[in-house]
Amino acid sequence: MKISILAVSSLLVTLSNATPSPAGSYGIFKKDDSVYANPNDCDSDIESLIAGMTLEQKITQKLLPDIRNWNYGGCNNTAAPLQDMNDEVALSLAKYSFGGLTLFAENLYTTERSVRLIDNAQKANAINNKIPLLVCIDQEGGIVTRLGNGIMMPGNMAIGATSNTDYAYRTGLIVGKEVRAVGANLDFAPDSDVNVNPANPVIGVRSFGMKPELVSANVVRYLDGLRESNCIGCVKHFPGHGDTATDSHFGLPLVNKTLDRINSIELVPFKAAIAAGVDMIMTAHIQYPALDNSTIPSIIDGEPILKPATLSRAIMTDFLRGQLGFKGVTVTDAMNMDAIVKYVGQIDATAKAISAGVDLIIMPVLVRCVSNFTLYDQVIDAVKNEISEGRYSVAELESSVRRILTLKKKYNLLQLDNSPIEERIKYANATLSDPADKAIEKQIAEEAITVVKNDPTYGIPFNTDENSNVVVFMPDDTQTAAVRRKVGELKIKGNFNYMNFTRRALNGTAEELANKASHIILGSLVTTNTPAIDGGDIFINPGDIGTWAYSFPAAVVEKAKEKKISVAVVSLRNPYDVANFENAVGAVLCAYGYKGIILDVYAQPNLPAAISTIFGQSKPKGRLPVDIPSVFKNDTILYPFGFGLSL
């Protein structure tokens, strides 16, 4: 049975007058209630669906808002992670007929609640909208994952290091299956950027590597895996985020390269994906003057800035559709990123992206409470304004909606899953982090471990006994926890001491530990490797920059040399930091993933695989998927693409 629009508007009245019920309680939706539109009501004839939509619904079909945090019953800075549907969010879904939702880790900590949240979102949407939601998440595998109970996988650069594209296929297959199991249907993956810039602060290990052919081959296989799991894939970030030294979360990057160069590097994986029939392409908030040198005024000071790709008709329509022949759906990167917020403004940028020809908009505005709903109305008005001023047309809007509905139809998403929710939860419980998949995850992580340096006396494998003193220095406690667990699993002999090092100097307890050690395991973690300015960055938040230092790991390595003890340095993220340890005595290896154990749930397999290698329990086979420049000599490659030692 369907609830009419009238019922929703009276609900709106009720909500604004009533004392709100506490978060997590269900007013519209009791946990097992079903306010489903009859799934068989869904019309799979796209033209008649479009004919039945209002102008506003055509516009909102293009929006993918987030419901990441919600301040139920109020609106202040205490917005909390939204894990269960509440009346207010349900109301916004019922009221606006969105095309879909973008969900984040905050929404997806546990499997059962994720399934219910998504199910309830579909139900709320179905009150007024015949067309079910796209439910999208960034489950790339590696350092970017959203499903709390899901598998993390080693990530793209680790796959690149195995030189085995079958692992990209496996990753697509597994993450696609998990995304579908919770009721989501679209994965913003694989990352298809070619990481040619060692200073890239945001892509790094999310990329398969520095060679366009390597990236392309893996992208295509990853997409095969997703498709086989019936999950929509999306290559990103077009035209390429691999050669930037700025993160578009915090600034507006520029790729000032010639068209020839872009054609031979950045665009290669996107062309391969298009040839392989990719369904969706995500834009980058990046300036590409070779593709579009037109400007818009910045909201900071009115000065002209080059249009970022997301807002460029020349790039998103003329080039991507006209020249590259892409016929699928395009989507913006998140519109809450600084590249957009600081320079253009979210609502204006959403309108501009739409009139540039982009089909879907991720997080067009930041809505955290009922009083923010007016922001959606402003978005609708801004798009109408583009139409009335002739920058966009209803015909173009309908073509765009047609592409979105065609995609939904292709994946059978015009029908809601009407099977009992308990069955779906049971299936999801059994599917996420399946032991057979965990075994593949471990295998890939172990084969990816790349040893770039090893000394026969002070290197690996470590042979420890009951009298050995092993000191483990890691950037944070999530990693020490991961090492501790792995050492226990492998039943390694010796006394272990664990310490994190958010510090620069090797003094105090850290020095005492190092002085007593027979073996040291040292994690190194940087996003951009700038040892020359001692104090590269440890983490992606700008506030954290400078907390890490080159000097601590360097001092540890020096100490090991001086005391003639074994040392293994593990590069935990982008592998470029191995160049800092050119003169180390001992072993230096790359793991390509830094996430340890968080909340006892999240755990990446990379560091455990490195531990296994260090203690001789697995053989390293990895080969560098990028060149590693020397930090001591300019214009010198210390370890070239393809390099890796076998023990």
Q: Which residues carry out catalysis?
A: 249, 333
Angle in degrees, 0-180, between the axes of helices 421-431 and 166-181, rounded to the nearest 10: 150
- Taking the least distance from each CB to ligand NAG, the nearer of 230 and 551 is 551
Q: Cβ of residue 462: shortest distance to ligand NAG, in angstroms?
A: 24
Answer yes or no: are the C-beta atoms of 202 and 248 closer than 8 Å: yes
Q: Cβ of residue 616: shortest distance to ligand NAG, in angstroms?
A: 28
Q: Binding residue for ligand NAG (CB under 6 A) from 27, 39, 81, 289? A: 289
- Residue 417's CB is within 10 A of a number of other CB atoms, namely 18
Binding to ligand NAG (CB under 6 A): which residues in 356-385?
Answer: 366, 368-369, 371-372, 375
Rounded to whole angstroms, how far apart are CA atoms 94 and 11?
A: 10
Give yes or no for residue 477 binding ligand NAG (CB under 6 A): yes
Q: How many residues bind ligand NAG (CB under 6 A)?
A: 30
Binding range to ligand NAG, per CB under 6 A, among 24-32, 443-451, 464-472, 500-508: 500-508
- Taking the least distance from each CB to ligand NAG, the nearer of 32 and 213 is 32
Give yes or no for residue 634 binding ligand NAG (CB under 6 A): yes
Q: Binding residue for ligand NAG (CB under 6 A) from 10, 264, 399, 507? A: 507
DSSP 8-state symbol, 602:
B
Phi then psi for 296, rounded to 5 degrees? -135, 155
Give yes or no for residue 412 binding ligand NAG (CB under 6 A): no
Q: Cβ of residue 342: shortest distance to ligand NAG, in angstroms?
A: 14
Binding to ligand NAG (CB under 6 A): which residues in 46-85?
Answer: 71, 73-76, 78
Task: Tell me, residue by residue from 437 to 476, as one string, x for binding to ligand NAG by CB under 6 A and - for no binding.
Answer: ---------------------------------------x
Rounded to whole angstroms, how far apart are CA atoms 610 and 545?
A: 26
**Beta strands 304-306 and 295-297: pairing type?**
antiparallel
The CA angle 397-400-406, to the nearest 5 degrees, is 140
Binding range to ligand NAG, per CB under 6 A, among 228-236, 443-451, 503-511, 637-645: 503-511
Strands (E), 251-346: 280-283, 295-297, 304-306, 329-331
> Helix, strand, or coil here: 89?
helix
Q: Binding residue for ligand NAG (CB under 6 A) from 90, 425, 470, 481? A: 425
Binding range to ligand NAG, per CB under 6 A, among 32-40, 52-60, 197-205, 422-430: 422-430
Composition of the chain by helix, strand, coil, percent to 5: 40, 15, 45
CA contacts within 13 A on the Cβ side of 69: 9
- Length of the chain counted residue by residue: 647
Phi then psi for 580, rounded to 5 degrees? -65, -20
Binding range to ligand NAG, per CB under 6 A, among 184-192, 421-429, 588-596, 606-614: 421-429
Give yes or no for residue 546 binding ligand NAG (CB under 6 A): no
Phi then psi for 523, rounded to 5 degrees? -90, 140
**Beta strands 628-629 and 450-453: pairing type?**
unpaired
The residues of the shown chain that bind ligand NAG, judged by CB under 6 A, are 71, 73-76, 78, 112, 254, 256, 289, 293, 366, 368-369, 371-372, 375, 422, 425-426, 429, 476-477, 500, 502, 505, 507-508, 633-634
